[in-house]
Amino acid sequence: MHFKAGLELTELQNMTVPEDDNISNDSNDFTEVENGQINSKFISDRESRRSLTNSHLEKKKCDEYIPGTTSLGMSVFNLSNAIMGSGILGLAFALANTGILLFLLLLVSVTLLSIYSIHLLLVCSKETGCMVYEKLGEQVFGTPGKMIVFGATSLQNIGAMLSYLFIVKNELPSAIKFLMGKEETFLEWYVDGRILVVTVTFCIILPLCLLKNLGYLGYTSGFSLSCMVFFLVVVIYKKFQIPCDGQGLNATLSILSNSSEHTCKPKYVIFNSKTVYALPTIAFAFVCHPSVLPIYSELKDRSQKKMQLVSNISFFAMFLMYFMTAIFGYLTFYENVQSDLLHKYQSKDDILILTVRLAVIVAVILTVPVLFFTVRSSLFEMARKTKFDLCRHVLVTFVLLVIINLLVIFIPSMKDIFGVVGVTSANMLIFILPSSLYLKITQQDGSKLTQRIWASLFLALGVLFSLVSIPLVIYDWVQSGGSDEGH
């Protein structure tokens, strides 16, 4: 009996030693264990295979644990700022093409689905120990997973940069004309939005992007969020100041308001050719997933439950802000609202509108380098060129900015940016990636059958959204010739 017990103990030790050796050598080297599965034909018992898999996921962390120092309140502020973006300017346009009730239903749905996707992402991070989205994709799906995550996050950040520069292209000419005392119809090369966005890019944004470290630009996050709150306050105030017939606005708005199609009665359910842009625009406005894990890693005394609380508070606050901006913007202009809400406030002698326009312009200009730094760092990481090289640094920065400026110049409206990014990267980051990662990680855990069913339905919803939205967006863009009133 003693000999038999000793033999069993010896066999157990021989079974666990190779796993520990593999873990200690390289956290990214999958020899005996790959993607959370045991690749051994000698292990036939399912429970043993599951036990070993779970043990591997618990021990084999892809990032070293570093205690966080950021309070819960500051984490809420940081995540709210990550959610908040230029998407807020397109929500009134989305509401005008869906109606109040349908828009509210979509907004509530996307908010709840986004919170659930954050839950899945936090579970995956806890199981693997990864605090970087690209590393999480690589840990679970290998190199293809890393490539897909890189593509989705980069497209999302590039889309955000395009929308920010589009604001500069639309709003800066109006601000300059006001400061010069010129009419809106005043046309000169130095008030051309295309020339101005190129000038701003290479005179202000390029020098900031060329810096080796842009960490100090994090101080602009509070200012950016404050500008958007100020924008919301002005939108609410202007609703009660601007009459429905458009008096006091520019000639263009007056002509539109006198058309037979204009009505001052709100509509609750609307279906037209632009309705297809509503869901992508809302999805674009709520994407913050690339920032969730870094904020999670910096949270003091972090836990999955505590970070989920941060997410719930942040998404609820942004839900209220988004809905108020959309409803008051819509009730101000009704059918005449454009894909860039701020561009509708054109009164030539309104100091308040000029102030909010300048505040938003400055905020988005200072935000572009932060997003650009993330895209460039991810690109260097994918190319495994992490060592700083000045020539490569300057060349890649210049080429990327040229490409981004060309896109801003030739894309006709922000509606197209919200539509394309919303049905691609936003859909991937909200629906497909979190659910796919979760299903892969928990594939051997029979105790999570119910959670896996919900995750599978969530994944199916994301795939369905892509299959329906992408063809419709392409069809509408082709039908409209790629033009829109918002440019």
Query: How does DSSP classify residue 299?
Result: B
Query: How does DSSP classify residue 138?
Result: H
Name the most confidently modeled range: 13-27, 52-66, 102-116, 351-365. 102-116
Q: Which two tokens stand for residue 267?
A: 């509509």
Q: Which two tokens stand for residue 344?
A: 């509708």
- At residue 247, does pLDDT exceed 50? no
In this prediction, residues 370-389 reach a mean pLDDT of 78
| Lowest-pLDDT choice from 221-235, 252-266, 343-357 | 252-266
Q: Which two tokens stand for residue 66?
A: 């570093």
- Contact predicate 353/345, CB 8 Å: yes
* Residue 356 resides in a domain: yes
Q: Dihedral, CA atoms, 122, 128, 132, 138, nearest 10 degrees?
A: -120
Give me the pLDDT at residue 299, please.
Answer: 85
Identity of the residue numbered 248 = G
Separation CA 269–CA 447 (nearest Å): 43
Three-state SS at 250: coil
- How confident is residue 29, by pLDDT bands cut at 50, 70 and 90? very low
Nearest in space to 302 (alpha carbons), one of 55, 129, 431, 120: 129
CA atoms within 13 A on the CB side of 317: 19
Task: Decide which of 181 and 93 is more confident.
Answer: 93
pLDDT by residue (tens digit) across 159-168?
Answer: 888 888 888 8
* Residue 15 resides in a domain: no
- Contact predicate 253/346, CB 8 Å: yes
Give me the pLDDT at residue 114, please.
Answer: 92
Residue whose structure tokens are 């392409």: 474
- At residue 434, does pLDDT exceed 80? yes
In this prediction, residues 372-380 reach a mean pLDDT of 81
Q: Which two tokens stand for residue 283?
A: 């999805």
Identity of the residue numbered 470 = I
* Residue 11 resides in a domain: no
Q: Which two tokens stand for residue 76?
A: 């809420």
Task: Decide which of 11 and 316 is more confident.
Answer: 316
pLDDT by residue (tens digit) across 229-241?
Answer: 888 999 999 888 8
pLDDT by residue (tens digit) across 308-358?
Answer: 999 999 999 999 999 999 999 999 888 888 877 877 776 667 788 888 888
* Residue 84 resides in a domain: yes
- At residue 7, does pLDDT exceed 70? no
Exposed / middle / buried, residue 432 (Cβ in 10 Å: 0-12, 13-18, 19+): buried
Give me the pLDDT at residue 167, please.
Answer: 85
Number of domains in the chain: 1
Task: Decide which of 113 and 254 is more confident.
Answer: 113
| Lowest-pLDDT choice from 99-108, 369-378, 416-425 | 416-425
* φ, ψ of residue 38 in degrees (nearest 5): -85, 120
* Residue 31 resides in a domain: no
Task: Decide which of 288 and 340 is more confident.
Answer: 288
Give me the pLDDT at residue 18, please.
Answer: 41
* Residue 136 resides in a domain: yes
Largest pairwise CA distance in the chain = 100
Give me the pLDDT at residue 250, please.
Answer: 45
In this prediction, residues 258-285 reach a mean pLDDT of 75
Helix or strand holding residue 228 (H, E): helix 220-241
Give me the pLDDT at residue 255, please.
Answer: 41
- At residue 1, does pLDDT exceed 80? no
- At residue 8, does pLDDT exceed 60? no
- At residue 478, does pLDDT exceed 80? no
Q: Which two tokens stand for residue 132?
A: 């970087």
The domain that holds 129 is classified in CATH as: 1.20.1740
Three-state SS at 385: coil
- At residue 132, does pLDDT exceed 70? yes
* Residue 5 resides in a domain: no
Task: Decide which of 28 and 364 is more confident.
Answer: 364
- At residue 147, does pLDDT exceed 80? yes
Taking all residues of the chain, what is their mean pLDDT, rounded to a whole number? 77
* Residue 75 resides in a domain: yes
- Contact predicate 348/181, CB 8 Å: no
Give me the pLDDT at residue 246, please.
Answer: 52
Separation CA 182–CA 192 (nearest Å): 14
In this prediction, residues 65-86 reach a mean pLDDT of 79
- At residue 54, does pLDDT exceed 50? no
Which range of residues forms the domain containing residue 341? 71-479
| Lowest-pLDDT choice from 22-26, 63-67, 407-411, 429-433 | 22-26
